[in-house]
Structure 1
């Protein structure tokens, strides 16, 4: 196993059990069976390690949920697929989910708070697109309340998955939350969270990535990825940005080629947003 990956996995086990602030570099190195010097060759500090962890897992989760929402064509299945994907991710990355939920409310690390807010905003953007697609004008004045209700459902019910040693029926849970969400969407009449209020308690973040930034990121990924269909697809996608000559169907196919590669998930997400797929 690559040393950096080993450190991230072992540190996460400790963070999930005792929290970030209570875990020392000494404890991490002992848990990994490595020296402190080996740790600092991979990460400059514990703070850098935690930011790398958040990026690593949130890129996986955010890109997977975004793909599921954008590629579920049947509106009647969309909300169910969203909830099921969320809880499946919580189950798959349970140690990270425990840590992430805890640190959102307890952390005093400014960089970590900003990082968490960034990914929360991306998830809210995904949920907003789903809500507008499913309910349209019906929730024109209540859509922001609905976003927070959906986030509340996922956070509260995730505790059942993460903190109880029992097997839960994700299918039934997803169906139940679909019913609850539809009732809220159809019958909520008193909005609380308006767009003006959103602007008051949320500082805007820059979610747009320029074509030049995309090209620079793709050049780095092309260097990282070994010869494969993913590397060839990245090269073609970069050429498409520089000099468009491919149909959108081909571009979509190339994005599908790179979507599941661990080094390409984020660039795939950014390119889908760029092309509005």
Structure 2
């Protein structure tokens, strides 16, 4: 495990146990067995640390659900895997999620700053999440949800949000298989029997096109991941991708090759999504 990852893992546990504001950098470094100087080689501040943690968790989450959506599994079993993978992921990252439930740091100045800096990223990820649900529903139900898919997508997002909170607040283990099967059943009923439509077309709920991605923003994100990664292949792929994107005549084949390399790294998930989005909007 890299020193950067050790710091993030330790901070997650301490933030969940003591709260974000109550946890000092000195406590984090003491638990890691490193000096403050070593901490500042990776993070400029505690704010930068929480930003990195949030980005890392969301990137891993996006990678996991994308693999389900793009898998060769058919029909309702794919929907079951989608729900179960989300709840298993949330359950395995309880400490991180509980930071927000127990500390309520969204009320503090620190997280207001975090929210400001992450607004673009959260909005982008939320659009990607919505798009993945639409893709999933279309692949499972086809023409049956042509009129209702946008309403249904919001219902699925509501199921996920509400039951994730339920899973996190339980003191005893939740049967994720039973929960996922229950939500598959509910989704089936809505998909096959719902007739009244509120959201009629994509303009009512724009997905994946409201944020304009700039090349300078992509380069900034690449630089950040380059500093974090311990993989030589990932670092080299990021470097080549950055050079190619900023060249006067970028090679589409080389860019796609680097994206293919980076797709196996959760830390580069956001980069891959950004570049694909950037190329689509051009």
TM-score above 0.5, yes or no: yes
Native 8 Å contact 1:15 1:23 kept in 2: yes
| Pairwise CA distance, 1:255 | 7.0
Q: Deviations over 1:29-52 (max 9, x none)?
A: 444444444433321122111111
Q: Which residue of 1 aligns with 2:161?
A: 155
Q: Deviations over 1:27-76 (max 9, x none)?
A: 43444444444433321122111111111111111022112101234133
| Pairwise CA distance, 1:84 | 1.6
Q: Deviations over 1:201-233 (max 9, x none)?
A: x996437687x99899889989967566x7898
- Shift of the 233–4 alpha-carbon distance from structure 1 to 2, 3 Å rule, reads closer
Q: Which residue of 2 aligns with 1:112?
A: 114
TM-score (norm: length of structure 2): 0.70
More deviation, 111-120/190-199: 190-199
State the aligned residue count. Answer: 267
Bigger relative contact order, structure 1 or 2, given CA contacts below 8 A and separation 6+?
2
Q: Deviations over 1:60-105 (max 9, x none)?
A: 1102211210123413322112112111211232222333667899
For 1:119 and 1:103, locate their aligned partners in 2 and report how far apart those are by CA, in whole Å: 23
TM-score (norm: length of structure 1): 0.71
More deviation, 51-60/135-144: 135-144
What SS does the aligned partner of 2:70 have?
helix
Is 2:139 the counterpart of 1:133?
A: yes
For 1:117 and 1:13, locate their aligned partners in 2 and report how far apart those are by CA, in whole Å: 26
For 1:273 and 1:78, locate their aligned partners in 2 and report how far apart those are by CA, in whole Å: 25
For 2:223 and 2:35, locate their aligned partners in 1 and report how far apart those are by CA, in whole Å: 34
| Pairwise CA distance, 1:120 | 2.2
Native 8 Å contact 2:2 2:230 kept in 1: no
Listed as ranges, the gaps of 5+ residues in structure 2 are none
| Pairwise CA distance, 1:178 | 0.5
Native 8 Å contact 1:66 1:269 kept in 2: no
Q: Deviations over 1:233-252 (max 9, x none)?
A: 88999999955679xxxx89
Q: Deviations over 1:128-165 (max 9, x none)?
A: 22123333443344333322221222222223433334
- Shift of the 101–123 alpha-carbon distance from structure 1 to 2, 3 Å rule, reads farther
Native 8 Å contact 1:221 1:264 kept in 2: yes
Which runs of structure 2 are paired with 1:1-277 in the superposition (5 Å)?
Answer: 1-99=1-99, 106-107=106-107, 109-110=111-112, 112-113=114-115, 114=119, 115-193=121-199, 195=202, 198=205, 205-206=210-211, 243=251, 259-267=263-271
- RMSD between aligned alpha carbons? 4.3
More deviation, 21-30/52-61: 21-30
| Pairwise CA distance, 1:123 | 1.1
For 2:226 and 2:270, locate their aligned partners in 1 and report how far apart those are by CA, in whole Å: 13
